[in-house]
Amino acid sequence: MNHDIPEELRKLQDLARHYVERELRPHEAEVDRTKNMPHDLYARLRKKSLEVGLFGYNLPVEVGGPGIPWLGQVLLREQLGHVSQAMADTVGRPPKALLACQGEQRQRYLEPVLRAEMTWAFALTEPEAGSDAGAMRTRATKTDGGWKLNGTKQFISHGDSADVVIVIAKTDDGLPTAFLVERGTKGFSVGRVHPKMGWNGYPVAELRFEDAFVSDAQVLGKPGDGLRLGLSQIGEARMGVAAHCVGMAQRAFDYVLEHARVRKQFGQALASFQGLQWMLAEMALDIEQSRALLYATARTLDLAKSPGDVRMEVSMAKLSASEMVGRVADRAVQIMGGAGYMAESPIEMIYRDARAFRIGEGTSEIQKNQIARSLLG
C-alpha cells in the first residue's frame, strides 16, 4: 500500500526499525521469560534512546523536543510495536501533563525527565474509579504550606519505581487536581505490584497515600486542572496504542506467513491449505484497514486546529487497531498450532501483550461511547 510517506518521516521510521532490531530485540525474550526488567538495563536503554534521538519523540520544540508531526509519531511507534511492550517502553515518552510545570518545577521535574534522568508515573485509576475517573476518592486536604493526600491508586504503570508520580486527587471542594509526588515522600507507599497476564517486565502497581504531605509548589497547573491535564495526553496515548497494535499485528503476521510457507503437514506447506490462506488474507486485510485509519487520523490531527476536534477519529483508530491485534494474534496462534501456544516464539507473547490494549487508555466500550457522543452531540 502506498501511503505517500514523506522522505524525512521514512528516515525516522527506519531509525526506529533499526533501533528495535539492534538495541531492543536482543533483550526481549529474557525480560519476558524472567518478567523482570533489570534496573540498569532500563536506565541504559533510556539513555541510549536519548542519544539516538528517539527519547521524548512526542515532545514539541518549545521544550527541546523534536516536534515530530503526528504522522511521524505513529510511524515511529508502529515500529516500536515490533517488540514487547516492556522493551518498547524504554524509549521514553514523557507525559504531556508535565509541560504544565512552572518556575522551579521545570528544573526539579521537567528538565531531569527530558534528560532521561528522572522516571515518572501517572496515577488516575482507583479501585472504585476506572472508566469513571470522576468518581475518584483520593482526597487532597489543604494544610499549612501544602496538601495532605489520602487514598489508593491502582494499576499504575511503573508506580513501583517512578521518581515522581503525577497523582490526580480531589480537593475539599471536589476539584480534581494534579500533584507531583516524589518517591520517598512520607505517607506515600507502594502496595502490591499487580501480577498480570502479559507486559512482562513492565510493572503495574498499587499506590497508597496516608496523610502524604506535598507542598503548594508540587501542584501541577492550578487546582481543578487535574482531569484536563490528564486528558491532555489521552489523544496521544490512544494514537500510540493504535500505532503499537498495528506494529504488533504486522510482526505476528510476518512471522506466521513465513511459518505457513515452511511448515509441512500432509506432505505440503501449511500455506497450501485454503482454510489457512483465507485466514492469512483476512489478517492482512485487517491490518491494512487499521493502518489506513491510523495514518488518516494522524494526518487529520496534523491539519486540525486542536486535537479535541479529532477526538472521534482518534477513538476510532484506537478501537480499530486494538480489536484488530486481538483477532490477528488469535489467528497467529492457530496457524502456528502447538508452537503458537508454547512460549518459544514471539507469538505467545504477542497474544498475551495484545490483550491489555483493549483496556488501557480507555476500554473499547469507552471508545464507542466517545464515537457515539461525537456523532450524537
Ligand X SMILES: Cc1cc2nc3c(=O)[nH]c(=O)nc-3n(C[C@H](O)[C@H](O)[C@H](O)COP(=O)(O)OP(=O)(O)OC[C@H]3O[C@@H](n4cnc5c(N)ncnc54)[C@H](O)[C@@H]3O)c2cc1C
Nearer to ligand X, 259 or 352 (CB): 352
In sequence order, the 6+-apart residues with CB closer than 8 A to the CB of 354 are: 198, 245, 248, 249, 322, 325, 326, 329
CA gap 70, 298 in Å, rounded = 5
Residues with catalytic roles: 361
CB count in 10 Å sphere of residue 174: 9
- The window from 111-119, 216-224, 340-348, 353-361 that contacts ligand X (CB under 6 A) reads 353-361
Of the CA atoms within 13 Å of residue 141, those in its CB half-sphere come to 10
- The window from 74-82, 112-120, 152-160, 234-242 that contacts ligand X (CB under 6 A) reads 152-160
Cα 341 to the center of its chain, rounded Å: 25
| Chosen residue from 156, 214, 241, 314 binding ligand X by CB under 6 A | 156
| Chosen residue from 66, 369, 371, 374 binding ligand X by CB under 6 A | 369
Q: Does 138 bind ligand X (CB under 6 A)?
A: no
Q: Measured between alpha carbons, how far is residue 120 from residues 138, 164, 194 in Å? A: 19, 5, 18
Nearer to ligand X, 9 or 121 (CB): 121
- The window from 149-157, 181-189, 275-283, 344-352 that contacts ligand X (CB under 6 A) reads 149-157
Q: Does 125 bind ligand X (CB under 6 A)?
A: yes
Q: Does 366 bind ligand X (CB under 6 A)?
A: yes
| Chosen residue from 130, 187, 224, 307 binding ligand X by CB under 6 A | 130
CA gap 324, 308 in Å, rounded = 25
Name the pairing type of β-strands 219-220 and 176-182.
antiparallel
Q: Does 157 bind ligand X (CB under 6 A)?
A: yes
Q: Does 122 bind ligand X (CB under 6 A)?
A: yes
Nearer to ligand X, 331 or 358 (CB): 358
Nearer to ligand X, 23 or 28 (CB): 28
Per CB under 6 A, which of residues 192..221 are in contact with ligand X?
199, 204
Q: Are residues 156 and 123 in contact, defined by beta-carbon separation less than 8 angstroms?
A: yes
Q: Does 315 bind ligand X (CB under 6 A)?
A: no
In sequence order, the 6+-apart residues with CB closer than 8 A to the CB of 37 are: 31, 86, 90, 201, 202, 203
| Chosen residue from 120, 155, 209, 295 binding ligand X by CB under 6 A | 155
Residues in a beta bridge with 165: 121, 181
Q: Does 92 bind ligand X (CB under 6 A)?
A: no
CA gap 44, 55 in Å, rounded = 12
Nearer to ligand X, 84 or 280 (CB): 84
87: part of which helix (H) or strand (E)? helix 85-88
Q: Give min distance, CB of 183 to ligand X, in A.
A: 15
| Residues at the site binding ligand X, with contacts judged by CB under 6 A | 121-125, 130-131, 155-157, 199, 204, 356, 359-360, 363, 365-366, 369
